[in-house]
Amino acid sequence: MRAHITEMVHQALGYLKRDGELPSDLDPVLTVEHTRDPAHGDYACNIAMVLARPLKRKPRELAELIVRRLPESRRVARVEVAGPGFLNFHASPHHLRMVVREILDEGQRFGQQPVGSRPPVLLEYVSANPTGPLHVGHGRGAAYGASLASLLEAAGHPVQREYYVNDFGRQMDILAVSVWLRYLELCGETVRFPDNGYRGEYIIEIARAVRARHGDDMRHGRVAVEEDLPADGEHGGDQEQHIDALIDRARQLLGEQGYQACFAAALDIMVEDIRTDLAEFGVEFDRWFSERQLTESGRIEAALKRLDSAGWLYRKDGALWFKATELGDDKDRVVVRENGRSTYFASDLAYLLDKLDRCSGTSLYIFGADHHGYVPRLKAAARGLGEDPDRLDFQLVQFAVLYRGGEKVQMSTRSGQFITLRELREEVGNDAARYFYVMRSHEQHLDFDLDLAKSRANENPVYYIQYAHARIHSVFRQLEERGLRHNQAIGEAALGLLESEHEQSLLRELARYPELIESAADARAPHRIAHYLHSLAAQFHAYYNASVFLVDDDDLRNARLNLVGAVGQVLANGLTLIGVGAPEKM
Instruction: For residue 248, state whether it binds RNA (rule: CB under 7 A).
Output: no
Q: Of the ranges 13-21, 140-148, 327-335, 381-389, which one interacts with RNA (CB under 7 A)? A: 327-335
CB of 376 or CB of 384, closer to RNA: 376
- Complex with RNA: residue 191 or 335, whichever CB lies closer: 335
Question: Which x/- pattern over 544-573 shows residues binding RNA (rule: CB under 7 A)?
Answer: xxxxxxx-----------------------
| Residue whose CB is less far from RNA, 357 or 459 | 459
Distances (CA, A) of 569 to 181, 285, 573: 55, 27, 6
Work out whether 370 is an interface residue with RNA (CB under 7 A). Answer: yes
Beta strands in 269-386 (DSSP E): 287-290, 313-316, 319-322, 333-336, 362-368
Contacts of 301 (CB under 8 A, 6+ apart): none
Phi-psi map region of 255: left, alpha, beta (phi>0 left; psi -120 to 50 alpha): left
**Closer CB to RNA, 411 or 493, in the complex:** 411
Site residues (CB under 7 A) for RNA, limited to 30-69: 31, 33-37, 39-41, 44, 46, 49-50, 52-53, 59
- If the CB atoms of residues 415 and 545 are measured against RNA, the closer one turns out to be 545
For residue 33, the number of C-alpha atoms closer than 13 Å in the C-beta half-sphere is: 9
* Position 534 contacts RNA (CB under 7 A): yes
Residue 403 CB, nearest approach to RNA (Å) = 9
- Distance from the first to the final alpha carbon of the chain: 36
- Mask for 399-428, x = binds RNA (CB under 7 A): x-----------------------------
The reply on whether position 383 binds RNA by CB under 7 A is no
Check residue 485 for interaction with RNA (CB under 7 A). no
444 binding RNA? (CB under 7 A): yes
Q: How many residues bind RNA (CB under 7 A)?
A: 96
Q: Does 445 bind RNA (CB under 7 A)?
A: yes
**Run of H or E including 118:** none
**CB 474 to RNA: min, Å:** 3
Q: What is the 3-state secondary structure (H, E, C) of 462-485?
A: HHHHHHHHHHHHHHHHHHHHCCCC
Residue placing its CB nearer to RNA in the complex, 302 or 369: 369
Binding mask 329-348 for RNA (x = CB under 7 A): -xx--x--xxx---xx----
Residue from 55, 77, 82, 209 in contact with RNA (CB under 7 A): 82
d(CA 228, CA 230): 6
Q: How far apart are CA 415 and CA 405, in angstroms?
A: 23
Point out which residues pair with 334 in neighbouring strands: 321
Q: Which of residues 85-104 bind RNA (CB under 7 A)?
A: 86, 88
Dihedral (Cα; 220, 223, 226, 227), 10-degree rounding: -130
Q: What kind and span of H or E run contains 203?
A: helix 201-214
Closest distance to RNA from the beta carbon of 518 (Å): 8
Stretch that binds RNA, among 101-109, 187-195, 272-280, 444-452 (CB under 7 A): 444-452
Among 460, 413, 434, CA closest to 141: 434
Q: In this complex, which beta carbon is closest to RNA, that of residue 218 or of residue 265? A: 265
Site string for RNA, 115-154 (x = CB under 7 A): --------------x-x-----------------------
Rg (CA), the chain: 30
3-state helix, strand, coil in the chain (%, to 5): 55, 15, 30
When asked if residue 522 is in the footprint of RNA (CB under 7 A), the reply is yes
String of contacts with RNA for each residue 157-196, x by CB under 7 A? ---------x-xxxxx------------------------
Q: Pick from 78, 222, 316, 454: which binds RNA (CB under 7 A)?
A: 316
Measuring CA to CA, which residue among 250, 170, 165 is closest to residue 210? 250
CB 131 within 8 A of CB 174: yes
CB of 283 to RNA, least distance (A): 21
Residues 256-285 that bind RNA (CB under 7 A): none
- The CA distance from 66 to 271, in Å, is 62
Taking CB under 7 A as the binding criterion, the range among 148-156, 354-362, 426-434, 540-548 that sits at the site for RNA is 540-548
Beta bridge partners of 210: none
Contact between residue 567 and residue 532 where contact means Cβ atoms under 8 Å apart: no
103 vs 243, beta carbon nearer RNA: 243
Q: Considering the complex, what minimum distance in angstroms separates the CB of residue 39 from RNA?
A: 6
**Distance of alpha carbon 294 from alpha carbon 299, whole angstroms:** 6
Phi and psi torsions of 465, nearest 5°:
-70, -45
CA–CA dist 68, 548 (Å, integer): 42
